[in-house]
Chains A and B, each alone.
Chain A
Amino acid sequence: MKKQIIVGCLLAMSLMACYKLHFEGNTFQTVKGTITDTLNKPISNLTLNMVTTLTNSRSGPVIVSTTSTKSDGSFQFTFPRSNGYLYVELPETYAVADSVGKIPDLHREIYIDTAKFQNFLYNTQTVKVVEP
């Protein structure tokens, strides 16, 4: 019985270790885009976090990179590739406006489709945000 418990614990620990965020030191991804308000006015000096996390895991969320928008609202992150899913996190006072003049679901995350990186680059294009 004692042996079975030990084997069980070892298996659980192995599974936990497998289901953990892993970062690659030889692959760096870049995400860029522009932040504007719903009237297309660029928002500058907005602090943005690039976050990676795993669902149903104790691993994450981890802030892998931080940047600020420039005067034209543009931003760019570079960070090591991971096995988690990615999103850009807005400051607490902002939320993504899914379409002009319409705010169906306030959320602070700009989701990144990891399958759509091209040459390790993903462009979110222009993201409109509002102050909720």
Chain B
Amino acid sequence: MRKYFIVLYLLLSLSQLKAQDTTAFGDKTFSIGTNEGLKSFTGNNFISKTYKASASTTIDIRFRIYGNWGIGGGGEWSSPSLKSLQYVGNSTSATMTNWFGYLFYNVYLGKKWMFVPKIGTGSYRLTNTLEANDYYKTYTYSTHGYSYFAAPEINFFLTKHISANAVVQYTYINLRSMNANESVIGTNYHKTNQFLGSIGVRFWL
């Protein structure tokens, strides 16, 4: 019951903001957004050869801090299915998490459109799960690394406080301290290219 009051309060607050607001579309200091997309991997690397394209969820917040420049941060999550067990053993499931920060610039295109190029970096984590018939049933092991990305984004403002957006993101994933006999296995265990296309909604406050 309490959460319904909180949602109602937020809606009322937003409607009040809209009533009082005299700013232009996208001319806000803070925004929060969520995107749903599809991502895939390319290249001769164990991630590309092991995991299928998968759905991805992103949530991020953004502050405009100087002119049209700003910073943001958030997280991206996915659970890709496995297409090969040749490079990571008999894993049955995997999760990928990327906590990131970025720099952006707002480019206003007419009254309702805004283009937002972003570059950023993040902390990448891949967790695989092994299943067993023993006392513990499951075992997990994680692979860590860094991500570096560029992500152009286009927004269309539905109201002064809500925009719909589309993003195309290229991410270079560099895994750290990886040990494997790459020449015998015939694949790379350090570097991966990831492409992510997504659509979402952003709230401007």
B90 touches A63 (CB 8 A): yes
> In the bound complex, what is the Cα–Cα distance between A24 and B143 (angstroms)?
8
* Cross-chain contact B139 with A65 (CB below 8 angstroms): no
Instruction: Tell me whether A64 and B90 are in contact (CB under 8 A).
Output: yes
Q: Is A21 close to B, CB under 8 A?
A: yes
Tell whether, in the assembled complex, residue A21 and residue B139 are in contact, meaning their CB atoms are under 8 Å apart.
yes
For residue A56, CB closer than 8 A to chain B, the reply is no
Which chain A residues lie closer than 8 Å to B86 at the CB level? 67, 78
Compute how far the CA of A23 lies from the CA of B128 in the bound complex, rounded to whole angstroms.
10
On whether the beta carbons of B141 and A25 are closer than 8 Å, the reply is yes
B143, A64: Cβ atoms closer than 8 Å: no
A93 sits at the interface (CB 8 A): no
CA–CA, A23 and B177, complex, Å: 15
B189 cross-chain contacts in A, Cβ below 8 A: 28
In the complex, what residue of chain B is closest to A61 when comparing beta carbons?
B134
Q: Spell out A's residues near B (CB within 8 Å).
A: 20-30, 32, 50, 58-67, 76-81, 119-121
Chain B 70-108: CB-based contact to A (< 8 A → 1; otherwise 0): 000000000000000111111000000000000000000
In the complex, which range does the number of interface residues on chain B fall in? 20 to 34
Using a CB–CB cutoff of 8 Å, the interface residues on chain B facing chain A are 46, 85-90, 126-128, 130, 132, 134-136, 139-144, 175-181, 184-185, 189
Separation in Å of the B18 CB from the closest CB of chain A? 48
Q: Cα distance A58–B134 when bound, in Å?
A: 7
If A23-B139, A25-B144 touch, does A62 touch B87 (CB 8 Å cutoff)? no
Given known pairs A30-B185, A65-B89, the reply for A58 and B136 (CB within 8 Å) is yes
Please name all residues of chain B whose beta carbon is closer than 8 Å to the beta carbon of A28 when the two chains form the complex. 46, 87-89, 178-180, 185, 189
Please pick, from B136, B139, B176, B184, the residue contacting A26 in the complex, using a CB distance under 8 A. Answer: B176
Known contacts: A25-B142, A30-B181, A78-B89. The answer to whether A64 contacts B135 by CB under 8 A is no
With a CB–CB cut-off of 8 A, which chain B residues contact A24? 141
Q: Which residue of A lies closest to B179 (CB)?
A: A27
With A66-B85, A78-B87 already in contact, the answer to whether A25 and B128 are too (CB < 8 A) is yes
**Looking across the interface, which residue of chain A has its beta carbon closest to that of B145?**
A26
